[in-house]
Amino acid sequence: MSRIHFVVKESAKIRYQAEAEREGKSLGQWLRDAADEKLAAARPRLFTVEELREFNAECDARRSDEPEPDWPEVKRMIAESKISGLEIT
């Protein structure tokens, strides 16, 4: 095991310590958990085989007889969704 030393403002340390106490953890454990959560959120999520099968089944269920739009149309739709702040579904 190794140690990490870093400097924080006293007010931040007090807030971290208070939250750690509320969660019933030591300050060190709370900081480790916070760092692990940050790493987990930054990693791309890997799917299980079953999740991929379910996803593929959902995609197959959405299929229609209409052809997919041509690439220029798809690019236009993506650009419009970014401009308007809408998610692509």
Q: Name which of 27, 23, 24, 1 is nearest 14 in CA terms.
A: 27
Q: What is the mean pLDDT of each run of 10 residues along the chain (89 residues)?
A: 93 96 96 93 83 88 81 90 65
- What was the pLDDT predicted at 40? 85
Element (H, E) at 73: helix 71-84
Give the CA radius of gyration of the chain. Answer: 23
Exposed/middle/buried for residue 52 (C-beta within 10 Å: 0-12, 13-18, 19+): exposed
pTM over the 0.75 mark: no
- What was the pLDDT predicted at 36? 93
